A and B are shown apart, each in its own frame.
Chain A
Amino acid sequence: MSGSTTIAPDPVEILAPQKQWSGQSIPRKEDKRLTQGEGVFVDDVKRHGMGYLHFVRSPYGHAHITSIDVSKAEEIKGVYGTLTGEEVASLTDPFFQLATPPGAHLKDYALAVGKVRYVGEPVVAVVAETRDLARDASELVEVEYEPLEALVDARRALDDATPVLHDDAGSNLMWEGVYEWGDLDAAFAEADRIVKIKELHFHRFNSTPLECDGALVEYNRGTGQWTIHTNNQFPGFAAIMMGPAMRTGLDKLRFVTQDIGGGFGNKITSHPQLVACCLLARKLNRPVQWTEWRTDFHLSMSHGNERWFHDTEVAVKSDGTLLGFRTKALDDAGAWLRYEPLGGVIWAQVTPGMYKWRNIRLEFTQVATNKAPCSPNRGYSRMQHLWFTERMIDIVAHELELDPVDVRKRNYVKAEDMPYETPNGCVYDSGDYAQMLDLALELIGWEGIDERKNEARSRGKIVGVGIGSTLDSGTNNFGQSRLINPELQFSGNNEVATVKLDIFGEIVVTLGTTPQGQGHETTAAQVVADILGCPVDDVHVRAGHDSYWNSHAGFSGTYASQFAVTGLSAVKGATDMLAEQIKRLGSVILGGVPVEALELAEGTVRIKDNPEAALPFMACGAIINANNAGLPEDLDVTLNCRYVYRPPFEVPDVERKFGNLTLTYAAQIHAAVVEIDPETGHYEIVDYAAVDDCGLRIHPQIVEGQVMGATAQALGAAMHESFEYDGDGNLLTPNFYDYHVPHALDMPPLRTGYIESASPFTPLGTKGMGEGGGAGIHAVCAAVQDAMRGHGDAIVYDSWNPYARVWELLNKPEHARALVEVVSS
């Protein structure tokens, strides 16, 4: 079966009344400009006299900087100036660190100061009249280095002999914490079998958005105002990091974005480069433009967390009931903590995965290595943990010769258990995992799998089938940061929207978000149109983000699977306010009719029982804006409404590491069929099914698009994509030539299905979604392992399984077999 098909579920009871726009896949407002090449991405923005910035980057994984000489570069006609780490260290303060000591002691600046700690680290910035000249001049910058031994294996990070990256920290340990809930001793005593897994590894990769980072920064000397055109997807965070470092108030940092070419979390931590641009814009008194090229991005930007799981022990009954687990998670954060160590707690949003076990211990250790700094990547920190969880499930089933479907269903949290409080106090709002699994199995043709395997065998091939179940927790409670560092003063979350009815009846919406393809302009308009009872084409949502709209708050941005909750709830809140104001105005204008007797319909406010008595929105806007004499003094109507949505959170209990860390839990269950050529290890995904549940869908096509995109990325990561380093810290996959991302010919046939379990916790019944949780990786690993059954019985121990590894698993299973052991309790 080729292409993709979607199977509709049995009808689901919809809690909200039937809506005219929400729930429909209306044409996207963004598409007209994007299909005509009229989008405005950051590199499209130009300013007269702008200088182009090129970063001189470290060729070493670890080295002292012994001298820097920019004089030859600066002599070149057309070179406007340079910036060095020494200057940066005098002009700015180190970036705020989220960690407790030793990580707290890191001194992180916009450019390397004194030392370089990863290949590709920016050392000097050169600004010139043209891109080419900046690049040429950078070759005349003379940097002398004294190379040091590089650390690339996190497992060696805390050995005595290993070089320390940050003398300020005194250790490569960045953060550690122990999480334990339930009664481990009892669980292990009750177990019939203990499955021990020595080592599992989640590999380093990211989502390589097609557009890399970039900025065009202008500085206004008169006002001290920076205008930062950029594609940073979390301006709230960027501002909080940049302002104090630059010794300036946050209002002096105006962030402007329009179209962003993909983010996936990888555009959150560009603040060091943005600071360099800001300092140069001020120093040189001209706009400064920075384009990050693909190789720059691969070398330096936002690698996903690489995580080892050591000495895992799973307590299980003979019938497959899972009682508990303990493990040691070792997280390789790269050279700097740019958003870390939040990854050290964010995994805990999904501590038990989809399963009911209550007794869990996880020791989390995060270390620095001479690799690019890690920051959020689609599925941030939950994906790693959920992959680990699915590996445990699958390996347990494999070793105890149980049916992986049965083990899952036996242990899944059930629909009737929802809302379900996990061992660490997170609340899964709703969901029916068993139903989703059944749907996935039907889509993949589970019943006929043995036949499929036999047929493949007759051709000399091996077929394996696997399941990957995952959660996409959305809308963070930033209070979880206190579990990392109790001194941090963050908690809750927010998002902002404004809706106004303008003088000629235009309905104008501004958001605080920074969409990168999720269709915010469209879905926001749907919500507004439903509340105001007007055509969706009458609702104009401004494209992008601009601090000057004052439509943002501390956590504004587009990340962490939350727009359908935070952004759309802010939109709903603002529109509800506007609707109420329109009615109160209408009440006065229509002769004192009570508000309850009015309705909004067809772009008017009118009397329910006498629809002819109607005031068009245009009239409302005109009256308030230009013709307001004679209105009652106490009529508090502006028709310009701003709403801040605040999800209901408490500060978590730092002692017990207990509390609700995310508001909603979307889910995905995938099934993959792989066909392996045992002679070469080459394999293909020959069939694939993805089932998702994200609560009520405002725009089904957009939701499906996110599921598909996440699937494709997960398949690429599972089979091909990895940031591999050599012993000196050189990245072996620094561009798309060696880092293979899937293209059109690589795509398997796809079948999709869905259910809708509305969230009881959100104003619209929606759940955030988009990250996906890496289900494709979990499913492919499971499928490959299934193929190993009867062919050496290797277990899959790494999330990255290129052909070479599959060949090794088949031909040298001893290494994998040595990692797992089953003992009787």
Chain B
Amino acid sequence: MGVVASSKAITVTVNGVEYEREVEARKLLIHFIRDDLDLTGSHIGCDTGNCGACSVIVDGGLLKSCMLLAVQADGATIETVEGLSEDGTLTPLQQAFSDHHALQCGYCTPGMLMSATALLRANPSPSEAEIKKALQGNICRCTGYWNIFEAVKAVAR
């Protein structure tokens, strides 16, 4: 794998679907997801890796997809917000967000849901302090976060 090249053919599995694409080395994973795969649920809110709107789960780990090159995700299994619900009905987490008004404009929501999902997988009964720490990397300008804490608490066991 020592080939030095400005583009690469990659294979990724996103929400259970396999994709093969040729991508430039410089393309960020978030642009690949949004522009190449037409999965526009993950969003871009900044250009310094601070806002977390692009958060996805790659090989089981939560990360910001604007801070990874698409070529680095070759062979990876990726989960985005579009994959949370299997049949179009809201998951308990998504329902809890709605019940608790944990979203207003909805722009941060996909990233927020992925971060909450990652948290609950690792820690099904988080304390409020743990919830806050887990969501620190997701900026919201609309809600002030309080309702988001309530929504995550509601689905915590």
Contact = CB atoms under 8 A, between A and B. Distances in A.
A–B interface present (Cβ within 8 A):
yes
A747 interface: yes
B45 interface: yes
Contacts, number: 191
B43 A3 contact: no
Interface in A507-521: 516-519
A744 B135 contact: yes
Contacts of B99: 27
Given A37-B42, A735-B47, A712 B109 contact: no
B43 A261 contact: yes
Interface string A614-637: 000000000000000000000000
Contacts of A384: none
B101 interface: yes
Interface residues of A, number: 61
B58 to A, nearest CB: 17
Interface stretch (A70-78, A312-320, A701-709): A701-709
Contacts of A3: 128, 146, 149-150, 153
Interface string B72-101: 000000001110110010100010011101
A32 B90 contact: yes
A533 to B, nearest CB: 26
Most buried by B among A39, A701, A704: A39
Contacts of A294: 45-48, 51
A38 B41 contact: yes
B107 A36 contact: no
A451 interface: no
Interface in A385-401: none
Contacts of A34: 103, 105-106, 109
A129 interface: no
A732 B38 CA distance: 35
A132 interface: yes
Interface in A6-38: 25, 27-28, 30-38
A295 interface: yes
B94 A741 contact: no
A41 B110 CA distance: 13
B71 interface: no
Q: Which of B47, B132, B139, B144 has the most CB of A within 10 A?
A: B144
A737 B139 contact: no
Given A36-B85, A36-B94, A37-B40, A31 B103 contact: yes
A530 interface: no
A210 B104 contact: no
B82 A37 contact: yes
Contact of B105 (A131, A262, A713): A262
A2 interface: yes
A211 interface: yes
Given A210-B140, A262-B105, A743-B137, A2 B45 contact: no
A747 B90 contact: no
Q: Chain A binding site: helix, strand, loop or mixed by DSSP? A: loop
B157 interface: no
Contacts of A32: 90, 98
A293 B104 contact: no
A227 interface: no
B120 interface: no
A712 B143 CA distance: 8
Interface string A697-726: 000011011001101110000000000000
A743 B139 contact: yes
Nearest to B143: A709
B142 A709 contact: yes
B94 A35 contact: yes
Interface string A21-63: 0000101101111111111110110100000000000000000
Given A35-B94, A750-B146, A132 B101 contact: no
Given A28-B98, A708-B146, A747-B144, A736 B40 contact: no
Dominant SS at the B interface? Answer: loop
Contacts of B24: 132
Given A701-B101, A736-B139, A744-B136, A36 B41 contact: yes
Interface residues of B, number: 62
Contacts of B105: 34, 209-211, 259-262, 516-517
B13 interface: no
B107 A37 contact: no
B7 to A, nearest CB: 12
Contacts of B50: 735-737
A581 interface: no
A264 B141 CA distance: 10
Interface in B103-157: 103-110, 113, 128, 131-133, 135-150, 153
Contacts of A369: none
Contacts of A220: none
Contact of B104 (A37, A517, A744): A517
A25 B100 CA distance: 10
B27 interface: yes
A523 to B, nearest CB: 13
Interface string B36-76: 00111111111110110100000000000000000000000
A736 B146 contact: no
A711 B143 CA distance: 9
Interface string A742-756: 111101001000000
Given A27-B98, A736-B51, A37 B80 contact: yes
Contacts of B47: 293-295, 735
B48 A709 contact: no
Contact of B139 (A35, A43, A210): A210
Interface in B9-52: 24, 26-27, 31, 34-35, 38-48, 50-51
A37 B41 contact: yes
Contacts of A737: 48, 50
B106 A39 contact: yes
A516 B106 CA distance: 9
Given A28-B98, A210-B107, A294-B45, A747 B141 contact: no
A702 B101 contact: yes
Given A705-B143, A711-B144, A518 B48 contact: no
A210 B108 contact: yes
A208 interface: yes
Given A3-B149, A35-B81, 13 more contacts: A4-B147, A27-B98, A32-B90, A34-B105, A210-B107, A210-B139, A211-B107, A517-B105, A518-B104, A741-B139, A744-B132, A747-B144, A750-B144
Closest 3 pairs between A and B when the two form their complex, measured CB to CB: A37-B41, A261-B107, A34-B106
17 contacts: A35-B113, A37-B39, A37-B40, A37-B110, A43-B34, A43-B43, A211-B45, A211-B105, A211-B107, A291-B44, A295-B47, A517-B104, A517-B142, A705-B142, A709-B141, A709-B143, A737-B48
Interface of B: 24, 26-27, 31, 34-35, 38-48, 50-51, 53, 80-82, 84-85, 88, 90, 94, 97-99, 101, 103-110, 113, 128, 131-133, 135-150, 153
